[in-house]
Structure 1
Amino acid sequence: MTAGGLPPYYFRVKENGAIVFRVDAENRQQRLELDQIATVNVNNGQVKPQGTTELTEADRQAIENWMAARQATLAARELDEIDRAIDTLNLTAHWAQSRATDAQLEAVTDRLLMAMHDLRTVLVRKRADRVLDD
């Protein structure tokens, strides 16, 4: 933490990573400044220093720690989204059985069947691969 209780780095999240800023609250104007020092990609682990910036060991360690935490967060979110998809499938089955009109079913049946067939095919293939590997 900096003297003002602020963290030494700020990570502006973007789709595949973040832009990394060093937080400067100890300047002459007593203003909070964010100095961009790097761009990181969590998908491939790439860290690109900004311009001529030389990253310190502390910078690199902070970035590595953030990337590990971010990857864990994204993995947890991914599983949560799958759990939600399972709930949605169950709710969809209940809707189709109890409330859907013929016109509503006609509008979605083919797309649902194709998506479920695709998912089932992938799941069965993956399960077979796991059984063969054991």
Structure 2
Amino acid sequence: MSVALPEYYFRVRENGAFVFRVDTENRQRRIDMDQIAVVNIRNGEIRAHGDRELSPRDLAEIKDWMEQRTKVLAQRDIDDIHRAVDHLNLTAHWVQSRASEEQLEEVTDALLMAMHDLRSVLVRKKADRLTKNRKV
């Protein structure tokens, strides 16, 4: 059973990826990965590796990957926020039903400060949206 390998491989890193061209057409019939570029998602930069020149196809594949990766990361961000809401609810239940005085002493100030900070930002952003919608 033969499985076709992709022509490009993206080794993900925190702010982008290293881009490799996959080659299986060699004498030893092994998989070679030749680094061709470095991608930075945050600033959209695509740098050819070494003194290579990227082909139009290379650039198209890289840009497509960047677009797809940006969508995946955005979805993960919102999923993380929904999980944070769940954790806040679980934390409230823990505080009310199971937390000891020592545990509460350990976490109360940090939780209150984080919640105050979050509330301040949310209220300000909500007010900005309401003001913006009234102007339209």
TM-score interval, normalised by the smaller of the two chains? over 0.9
Determine the C-alpha separation between the residues in 2 that align with 1:90 and 1:69: 32
Moved more, 84-93 or 22-31: 22-31
Residue 108 of structure 1 aligns to a residue whose secondary structure is helix
Task: Quote how far apart the aligned CAs of 1:4 are.
Answer: 5.6
The share of aligned pairs that are identical, in percent, is 60
Determine the C-alpha separation between the residues in 2 that align with 1:36 and 1:59: 12
Task: Quote how far apart the aligned CAs of 1:44 are.
Answer: 0.8
Does 2:100 match 1:118? no
1:20 counterpart residue number: 19
Moved more, 21-30 or 74-83: 21-30
One-letter amino acid matched to 2:84: A
Determine the C-alpha separation between the residues in 2 that align with 1:57 and 1:9: 14
Determine the C-alpha separation between the residues in 2 that align with 1:46 and 1:20: 13
Q: Do the aligned partners of 1:19 and 1:36 also contact (CA within 8 Å) in 2?
A: yes
- Dislocated runs of 4+, deviation >6 Å: none
The superposition leaves residues 52-71 of structure 1 with CA deviations (integer Å, 9 ceiling, x where unpaired) of 11101110010001000100
Any unmatched runs of 5+ in structure 2? Answer: none
The superposition leaves residues 28-79 of structure 1 with CA deviations (integer Å, 9 ceiling, x where unpaired) of 2211100000000111110000011110111001000100010000000000
One-letter amino acid matched to 1:45: G
Does 2:50 match 1:51? yes
Q: Do the aligned partners of 1:8 and 1:24 also contact (CA within 8 Å) in 2?
A: yes
The superposition leaves residues 106-130 of structure 1 with CA deviations (integer Å, 9 ceiling, x where unpaired) of 1100000000000000000000011
How many residue pairs align between the two structures?
A: 132
Q: Do the aligned partners of 1:4 and 1:25 also contact (CA within 8 Å) in 2?
A: no
Residue 37 of structure 1 aligns to a residue whose secondary structure is strand
TM-score, length-normalised on structure 1? 0.96
User: Which aligned pairs between 1:32-51 and structure 2 lie closer than 5 A?
Assistant: 32-51=31-50
What do you get for the CA RMSD once the two structures are aligned? 1.0
Does 2:75 match 1:95? no
Any unmatched runs of 5+ in structure 1? Answer: none
Residue 27 of structure 1 aligns to a residue whose secondary structure is coil
Determine the C-alpha separation between the residues in 1 that align with 2:56 and 2:23: 18
2:82 counterpart residue number: 83
Q: Do the aligned partners of 1:9 and 1:23 also contact (CA within 8 Å) in 2?
A: yes
